[in-house]
A and B are shown apart, each in its own frame.
Chain A
Amino acid sequence: MPSNTRPTQAHFVAPIDETPLVAIDSVKADGKPTNLWTDAWRDVRKRPMFWISSALIVLIVVVALFPALFTSVDPRYCQLSLSNQGPGDGSVLGYNRQGCDIYSRIIYGTSTSLSVGLIVTFLVASLGIFFGALAGFYGGWVDAVLSRLGDIFFSIPYILAAVVIMSVLSQYASVWTISLAIGIFAWPATARVLRAEILRVKNADFVMAATAVGVTRLRILIRHVLPNSIAPVIVITTISLASAIVAEATLSFLGVGLPSSTMSWGNDISQAQVDLRTNPQTLILPSIALSVTVLSFIMLGEVVRDALDPKARAQR
């Protein structure tokens, strides 16, 4: 017999609802207000992948900023007598064909990859947000022109475009030019994502409310529409940081990237090609460094996407 029926009672009687009517109508004001970002943070901090990728990224940033903390060997000091020697004798990972210390070169190459990644991401985010926001918010001919412009840049695969730019600018090759070459063709994806999101947001009630109280269009865009449609842009930006690092390494590998005097994983991998049979670690080790860096940014991007997108959360 169910516990809420007394022996003397013939029928089921629901217990008296003791919630006072006032409590139903009042808004819980003492609790912390939640929004997309606090929900996302609550979701993210429960996931081990978030902590692993953040720890790796912090480590990578520290290595890039203070390489001297991790090695006392000069990466440019090479002795041909040590060519292709294995680890030992003060060298952690051995020497490459030129007799340079592999470990030291990996440590000093970190900042190159990370700077290219950050500059490209900054460029892609600013161009993408600028064009995407204008196209989505103002619509009409602004949208038509900007979207077609984006289509043109989008339909050239950006590695090929970067190859063309870099083979033209070969005398000026540097971290800045290579970032420009990658970024200038990578922004349309971000612009498209933001445009679609703004189209969804701009008809929301809060935009109409802001218009009704006389807020200017530009101010609505910046204060109300953009903050509410920026989530997918953040996701795509994290992932574009990873692809920019890969793009730099690929261009350097193809020989149209950074000049060989710049310490870069792509350059080291490119130069180690001929030693694949004799001394594979000169090729494998920088590749591992590159892959781990890319993996940590992609992992972070995945976690952030899952946290910001309820649909992705449901599929987990």
Chain B
Amino acid sequence: MAGYIARRLLQAIPVLLGTTFLIYFMVFAMPGDPVVALFGDKTPPPQVLEAVRERYNLDKPFIVQYLLFLGGIFQGDFGVSFSGQPVSEILAVTFPVTLQLAVLAVLIEMVFGITIGLVSGLRKGGIFDASFLVVSLILISLPVFVVAFVAQFVFGIQLGWFRTTVGPGAPIQDLVLPAIVLATISFAQIVRLTRASVIDTGGQDFVRTAASKGLSRRRIVPVHILRNSLIPVVTYLAVDFGVLMVGATVTEGIFNVPGVGRTLYQAIIRGEGPTVVSFVTVMVLIYLVINLLVDLLYAVLDPRIRYAK
């Protein structure tokens, strides 16, 4: 186990270096002058350009710039936003909100997704199964902003059950609607994954053995079928948690949730290049770390992975 963790950690290093380099490269080595682009239509005086270049180390050769940027990241310095606030400070405020939202969304999709997937898988081909296959197909093809707007319109405006915007300092129940919207993205996938896994496990020899030695259905389903079907589902949920931490940009923007995603959304809308880069870098790092943890979790849950080379 320790060897596996060490190997996995070592493998993560080149990917980590590669991704940060790629993001940095994309922004600062492309055609066009990012500093001039910052000022939009206006032509800034050369002294201002010079000052901005110096502040972002843009007067130095590209590779030196990258190394300085990388060194900053390791010291927890992710740069400064346009308003002059350090990105790490913004993160300290916004990150807990996004975390709450992601946990809520994962809980919702876990409870509903696994229940519906289990019932569908046990009654394969029934009416319940067939109708949920159609529903999940429709949910998969709905872009998240469409779901968000429809939810906002129906539940927020027409029925008035939820507040349509969250805003800073809002109580956690205001996060329920955005969490439901976020959950719909993966809910359908979890239903399908659970269903496929339950069908797969249900046909295995040990399930037949359990049935033939006279165990009741009420014991076979939770203990033998469900527990053994959950390994792929749990890993999917963990990966999804990483995606939610990263990909809530659209939902947080629409519902005005004061999280990491909305901050990125606003930075994009205002055209704050360097802030966007800092945030994307942080998000990619979070995503990588969560994926690493998922791989380790997988090894804990499934001994076959640990002992294979």
- CB <8 Å contact, A250 and B196: no
Inter-chain CA distance A303–B146, complex, in Å, is 25
Residues of A within 8 A of B145 (CB): 249-250, 253, 269
Contact residues on B (Cβ < 8 Å of other chain), bracket: 35 or more
| Least Cβ–Cβ distance between B289 and chain A, in angstroms | 11
Given contact pairs A167-B271, A295-B138, A315-B124, A155 touches B15 in the complex (Cβ within 8 A): yes
Q: Verify if B2 is at the interface (C-beta below 8 Å from A).
A: no
- CB <8 Å contact, A157 and B153: no
Residues of B within 8 A of A149 (CB): 18
B227-255 interface bits toward A, Cβ cutoff 8 Å, 1 = contact, 0 = none: 00000000000000001001101100110
Residues of A within 8 A of B22 (CB): 152-153, 156
Q: Verify if A284 is at the interface (C-beta below 8 Å from B).
A: yes
Among B269, B280, B283, find the residue whose CB has the most chain A CB atoms closer than 10 A: B280
Q: Verify if B30 is at the interface (C-beta below 8 Å from A).
A: yes
Given contact pairs A164-B280, A295-B137, A157 touches B246 in the complex (Cβ within 8 A): yes
Residues of A within 8 A of B277 (CB): 164
- CB <8 Å contact, A164 and B283: no
Q: Verify if A159 is at the interface (C-beta below 8 Å from B).
A: yes
| Least Cβ–Cβ distance between A306 and chain B, in angstroms | 11
Residues of B within 8 A of A249 (CB): 143, 145
| Least Cβ–Cβ distance between A277 and chain B, in angstroms | 6
- CB <8 Å contact, B34 and A168: yes
- CB <8 Å contact, B141 and A156: no
Residues of B within 8 A of A287 (CB): 143, 146, 149-150
Q: Verify if B14 is at the interface (C-beta below 8 Å from A).
A: yes
Within 8 A of B (CB), among A177-201: none
Inter-chain CA distance A246–B250, complex, in Å, is 13
Q: Verify if A102 is at the interface (C-beta below 8 Å from B).
A: no
- CB <8 Å contact, A256 and B287: no
- CB <8 Å contact, B153 and A276: yes
Given contact pairs A283-B149, A287-B146, A170 touches B271 in the complex (Cβ within 8 A): yes
- CB <8 Å contact, A280 and B146: no
Inter-chain CA distance A169–B273, complex, in Å, is 11
Q: Verify if A11 is at the interface (C-beta below 8 Å from B).
A: no
Residues of B within 8 A of A242 (CB): 141
- CB <8 Å contact, B284 and A284: no
Among A164, A254, A256, A269, find the residue whose CB has the most chain B CB atoms closer than 10 A: A164
| Least Cβ–Cβ distance between A101 and chain B, in angstroms | 21
B271-287 interface bits toward A, Cβ cutoff 8 Å, 1 = contact, 0 = none: 10100110010011001
- CB <8 Å contact, A164 and B37: no
- CB <8 Å contact, B250 and A148: no
Q: Verify if A291 is at the interface (C-beta below 8 Å from B).
A: yes
| Least Cβ–Cβ distance between B146 and chain A, in angstroms | 4
Inter-chain CA distance A155–B138, complex, in Å, is 27
Residues of A within 8 A of B283 (CB): 157, 160
Given contact pairs A155-B19, A160-B284, A298 touches B140 in the complex (Cβ within 8 A): yes
Q: Nearest 5 pairs between A and B by C-beta?
A: A152-B18, A295-B141, A294-B141, A287-B146, A246-B143
Residues of chain B having any CB pair with chain A under 8 Å: 14-15, 18-19, 22-23, 26-27, 30, 32, 34, 37, 124-125, 137-138, 140-146, 149-150, 152-153, 157, 195-196, 199-200, 243, 246-247, 249-250, 253-254, 264-265, 268-269, 271, 273, 276-277, 280, 283-284, 287-288, 291
Given A148-B14, A164-B23, 7 extra CB contacts under 8 A: A148-B15, A155-B287, A254-B249, A276-B153, A284-B153, A290-B143, A295-B138
Between A and B, 15 residue pairs with Cβ closer than 8 Å are A148-B18, A152-B15, A157-B287, A160-B280, A163-B264, A164-B23, A168-B30, A169-B30, A170-B271, A253-B250, A269-B146, A277-B157, A294-B143, A315-B195, A315-B200
